[in-house]
Structure 1
Amino acid sequence: MEGILFALVPMFAWGSIGFVSNKIGGSANQQTFGMTIGSLFFAIIVFIVARPQLSFNLWFFGIIGGILWSLGQNRQFTAMKHMGVSVANPLSSGSQLVFGSLIGAFVFHEWSTSFHYILGGFALLLLVIGFYFSSRVDPVKENKNHLLKHFNKGFVALAFSTFGYLSYAILFNNIMAFDVLSVILPMAVGMIIGSSFFMKFQLDFSPLVLKNSLVGMMWGVGNIFMLLAASSAGLAIAFSFSQIGAIISIIGGIVFLGEKKTKKEITWVIIGILCFLIGAILLGIVKSY
């Protein structure tokens, strides 16, 4: 029970990042830079408390991972500008789940039995169906062509976002496998470097940016509780709950940001949420065997 309670924290913390940051406002570059400031502050606190040993490899690969993460987050914020939080966030989480699972299965041989392929394949199918319904646009909507043009830009941004997120996840989990508490400070430094690059190193400390640093603190808290959930309830529960956080983004985008949906789109979103929920849980089960 304790592990499940721990897992709820990253679910809500990470699921809330998109609509909280967009409620605060700012460009995608300002949002990313502000978020990394908060993440670095949080990482320094963790380092002071935990005192982990930091090797050259940790610093080198941690910084690279942080730069890749900043690419993923920046492009995700960009996609949100074009598609809305309620659409971009579940598509982002879902694409990471699908491609991450496929890479894990066929490149790193994480799926080794027929059970893995049958259940995992069914889970991925549900996620793809969830993609379709969560991003579907009602034909009666005004300016549909204008919306689709923005959606195309959003999909391009999501492609880069998925590449960044998957690259850093594979680097940390499949190639180097660093302890979270040890790598959090080097990664935060890399995140600052990456977000500064997107701003062409013209650093901005305006009120909007500093407010977005609170989002970075949320991300850091989610990271710590993800670790606690994995150690207490197992990686499968922690993994599933963290990805289900995309549902929080859908609800938050509609309720708090006023992203308009027609009755048909609300129905499609509900179908997408159910498919995404079941698919993420099934992938968690596959990872536990």
Structure 2
Amino acid sequence: MGIFIALLPALGWGIMPILIGKIGGERTNQILGTGIGSLIVGLVVHFAFSTSSISWPVFLISLASGAFWVIGQTGQYRSFEIMGVSETMPITTGFQLIGTSVIGVLAFGEWPGTTNKLIGVGALILLIIGAYLTSINDNKSGNSQVIKGIMVLLPTSIGYWVYSALPKMVDASGLSIFFPQMLGVFLGALIYVLTHDRQVITEKKSWLTTIVGIVFAISALIYIFSAQENGVATAFVFTQLNVIVATLGGMLILKEKKSPREFRFTIAGLVLIVVGSIITGFI
């Protein structure tokens, strides 16, 4: 049962990009729907579960965590438009793992000892190589799109890094900070839409994309229970399998084309990313 619970967040987060590709719409539609869906689940959890009360500083830090996630997610949605799901997901996963690992070491003293740090650096090198292999393209126009996508993903990945780092600053359970995080996702999405294109609030695709936010939030909730059941390291490692679901789904379901050579490099890159994430999860 523990392994089954651990696999569910990976499945949910892997399905999200495929749902986005199927529903379509503009980036503003997508981020607004994601925010609304996240808030719905957050409210249900808030009223259904008896969670411990948290202080206002913890609440605000959790709120900010969710809002920063929106920065990373808007970058990811923009990258989907530029180079597709199957190109974006391995690269953004690599950026997320590298950034959160480095912050963990520098800010929170993770990977203690020289041996652990050397192993960690080796894992990060695997992630970098893996992300590079998945980005290999047989034509020049494709390469320019990949470069453009990377230039979007790299700065916006800071949002994911802060989203992951802020909860480590507070002494509270994952379940107790879940609602303020989801509220932060909604408020961040709303601010983004109000400053870019207010008209999408009434558009059908914005509300259709609510299902993506619901999938995201339910997966995040299950991850909390998985961490309790399996331990944080094991739960985290299993979530990284979402990159396989999303990448293969982009090729098989969204019909994103790759040449046989590109496909081989993508599979090799995915293997390295998964291995690298496993190593960082168990250091």
The TM-score with structure 1 as length reference comes to 0.91
* Residue of structure 2 equivalent to 1:14: 13
Greater than 4 Å deviation, 4+ residue runs: none
What does 1:136-147 align with in structure 2 at a 5 Å threshold? 136-138=136-138, 141=139, 144-145=140-141, 147=142
Equivalent position to 1:189, from 150, 166, 183? 183
Q: Distance in 2 between matches of 1:153 and 1:273?
A: 21
**Contact 1:95/1:162 (CA < 8 Å) preserved in 2?**
yes
Show the 5 A alignment for 1:13-162.
13-52=12-51, 53-138=53-138, 141=139, 144-145=140-141, 147-162=142-157
Contact 2:182 2:217 in 1 (8 A): no
Counterpart contact for 2:178–2:221, Cα < 8 Å = no
Give distance in 2, aligned partners of 1:106 and 1:257: 39
Q: How far apart in 2 are the matches of 1:268 and 1:30?
A: 33
**Structure 2 residues not aligned, in runs of 5+:** none
How far apart, CA to CA, are the structure 1 residues paired with 2:18 and 2:156?
Answer: 17
CA distances 1:72-126 after superposition (whole Å, capped 9, x unpaired) = 1111111111121111111111111112112212332211123312321221111
Contact 2:69 2:160 in 1 (8 A): yes
Q: C-alpha distance in 2, partners of 1:72/1:279?
A: 21
Tell me the residue number matched to 2:266: 269
Secondary structure of 1:182's partner? coil
Alpha carbons 2:83, 2:146 under 8 Å: kept: yes
Identity %: 30
| Deviations 1:178-222 (CA, angstroms, capped at 9, x unpaired) | 422222222222212211222225251322111111111111111
- The answer to which of 109-118 and 50-59 deviates more is 50-59
Provide the rounded CA distance (Å) in 1 between the counterparts of 2:181 and 2:222.
17
- Identify unmatched segments of 5+ residues in structure 1: none
Give the C-alpha shift of residue 172 in structure 1: 1.0
CA contact (8 A) 1:92 1:161 kept: no
Segment drifting more, 190-199 vs 125-134: 190-199
What is the deviation of 1:150?
Answer: 2.7
Give CA deviations for 1:150-181 in whole Å, capped at 9, x if unaligned.
323311221233100101211112x2254222
Retained in 1: the 8 A contact 2:35–2:187?
no
State the distance in 1 between where 2:201 and 2:24 align: 14
CA contact (8 A) 1:237 1:284 kept: yes
- Secondary structure of residue in 2 paired with 1:199: helix
Q: What is the Cα-based RMSD across aligned positions, in Å? A: 1.6
Q: How much has 1:47 moved relative to structure 2?
A: 0.6
- For residues 241 and 27 of structure 1, the distance between their equivalents in structure 2, rounded to whole angstroms, comes to 31
CA-CA distance at 1:63 after TM superposition:
2.1
**1: distance between equivalents of 2:151 and 2:158?**
11
Deviations 1:213-270 (A, max 9, x none): 1111111111121111111111111110112211111101101111100010011011
Question: SS of the residue aligned with 2:25?
Answer: coil
**Could you say which residue in structure 2 is the equivalent of 1:241?**
238
Q: Given residue 62 of structure 1, which amino acid in structure 2 is its aligned partner? A: S
Match of 1:179 in 2: 173
Q: Are the counterparts in 2 of residues 14 and 245 from structure 1 also a CA contact under 8 Å?
A: yes
TM-score by length of 2: 0.93
Distance in 2 between residues matched to 1:57 and 1:50, nearest whole Å: 21
Q: Distance in 2 between matches of 1:99 and 1:66?
A: 17
* d(CA) in 2 for partners of 1:167, 1:155: 19
The code of the aligned residue for 1:81 comes to E
